[in-house]
A and B are shown apart, each in its own frame.
Chain A
Amino acid sequence: MDIKPDKHEKMETRASRKKKSVIGFFNVCKFYGESDAIVDVSFTISKDDFALITGPSGAGKSTVIRIIYMGETISSGSVIVDGMNLLRITRPQVPLLRRKIGVIFQDFKLIPSKTVFGNVALVLEAAGVRSKNIIHDKVMSVLETVGIGDRAASYPPTLSGGEQQRVAVARAMVGEPKIILADEPTASLDPEAADAIYQLLQDVHARGTTVVVTTHDLNLLEKGGTRVIHLKSGRMVSIVNQDVWNGL
């Protein structure tokens, strides 16, 4: 499915360009010593986008995600996230940026010594919410939303993969972030659990949150989003709207 970038970049409609972008990559490069993770990547993601970043393993999908939440710094170019230029961001501002973003990982990254409730509540505690009642109500509400309200007192190692990923989704949602980044969220799940997680992400998007998902799962790509960014060997191959992608 190799597509020439020049041809398909034109496929972006004028309307989508005019939309207010919450994430903007401009000629971004990231090098690890001699090897390049991403080279000259440029794209924008709008507020109402459900963007899918796809490509084979080693394409640079996870690097893009890490750059957005400042898990990595870029080697050159510039990145704008919700109006913040990541090159100019100061160290104390990094947590403020991250509170605007919820991140979901393939390996869930839950804290095994904390309960499901504790894992989700940690986001609010870290954001400075002091009221126990507010924390309780918000956490329980989001756990109910993702369908694991009854497992609040359980510890992550006692849950199935699908349940753990639901906790990760709940954790990403509870701070009511503007953006949710999901790095291969369904890669280690069975198809049923993967469908459920994907549906949850679509629900989150429907509530007005920008969602960015990395995946190499073609089934997931067919299920829909608003735009697809295709990377290969660290370079951007194409950026197209979902309807265009599905037609290819």
Chain B
Amino acid sequence: MISYFKRALSDFIRHRFLHGVCTATIALSVFIISAFTLFFVNAGALMNTWQKGIRVIAYLEPGVNQGARKALIQRIKAFDGVEDVVFISRQKAFSWLKKEIGRQSSLLEGLEDNPLPDSLEIKISRSALNVKDIEYLASRIKTFNAVNGVEYARKWLARFKGVYDLFRITGIILVTMVFIAIMFIVANTIRLILFSRREEIEITRIIGADEEFIRNPFYIEAAMLGFLGGITGITLLFISFALSMPTISPSGILPFFTIRFIPPAAGIAIVISSVIVSWMGCYFSIRRFLHM
């Protein structure tokens, strides 16, 4: 195996321009894939953060007594996906409002009566955190007589989820296409090398070399191309990320969320995929060109 590595390395150096161009192209492709991964990792985390804060607020009809309220809370708690139900009295809600509007709280002083209703804050369990489940839950709660109305960030959540899903499908298609492109790039590079060395390969066969002896260095070369391209692509993304982060994060675009680089496991998976796809490109090229 060491001798195969040596031959592959010497060939890599001999065809350095061709290999260099191929590595750069793979690096660019891996850069695109990694950038998509970076987006999905952070968009997913961001959505998770937002979803954690989602609460369904059920506003109660005026004059619901304590007994009816307790019974309502028990019934709501019995629903799947409800983690907790907290009663917020109209007085408490009014004091929170005053606190939140701060200096402008004097505006509320003119009010003769507290306009806010009693309400129930329904905390959704994480397992039920999807738009359809929340919609269903809200529609069920709305049917109770004691409930005047239900409110939650429905439209906004659905819109974000829709955009995220669209990006995810686009991303999967794009990543697949980029990987196929890597396979073609490596296949063509190896084909060019095989073509330039066809006489040498023929001589090697005549002197008694078996197929493994001939093809293994090419497989190693392809794996090296995939590995170098993968590492270079991710390194380029990291440099771009490190340089652009100071301009994104502290500017206040997303003050409550820290954008993170792709996790090491995802980075390793991308590099391994790049190696495998390059190897496959070489495999197809060798099968066609060397009839192995």
* CB 8 Å contact bits of A152-175 with B (1 = contact, 0 = none): 000000000000000000010001
Measured CA separation A49–B37 after assembly (Å): 70
Contact B207 A122 (CB under 8 A): yes
Asked whether any CB of chain B lies closer than 8 Å to the CB of A109, the reply is: yes
Interface range on chain B (Cβ under 8 Å from partner): 10 to 19
The proximity string for A residues 20-59 relative to B, scoring 1 for CB distances below 8 Å and 0 otherwise, is 0000000000000000000000000000000000000000
> How many inter-chain residue pairs (CB < 8 Å) link A and B?
43
Residues on the B chain within 8 Å of A130, using CB: 3
Q: Are B203's CB and A111's CB within 8 A?
A: yes
Closest to A125 in B: B3
A99 in the interface, Cβ–Cβ < 8 Å? yes
Determine whether the beta carbon of A109 is less than 8 Å from that of B210: no
Total interface residues on A, using CB and 8 Å?
21
Bound Cα distance from A126 to B203, whole angstroms: 11
Q: A125-B3, A130-B3 are in contact. Are A109 and B203 (CB under 8 A)?
A: yes
Write out the residue numbers on chain B whose beta carbons fall within 8 Å of the beta carbon of A109.
199, 203, 206
A151: CB under 8 A from chain B? no
Given contacts A113-B14, A125-B3, A130-B3, contact A98 B207 (CB under 8 A): yes
Which residues from chain A sit less than 8 Å from chain B, CB to CB? 69, 71, 92, 95-96, 98-99, 101, 103, 109-111, 113, 122-123, 125-127, 130, 171, 175
List 14 other contacts, CB 8 Å, given A96-B208, A110-B203, A113-B14: A98-B206, A98-B208, A109-B199, A109-B203, A111-B200, A111-B203, A113-B200, A126-B204, A126-B210, A126-B213, A127-B208, A171-B207, A175-B207, A175-B208
- 11 of the cross-chain contacts (CB-CB < 8 Å) are A71-B206, A95-B210, A98-B206, A110-B203, A111-B203, A122-B204, A125-B3, A126-B204, A126-B213, A127-B208, A171-B207
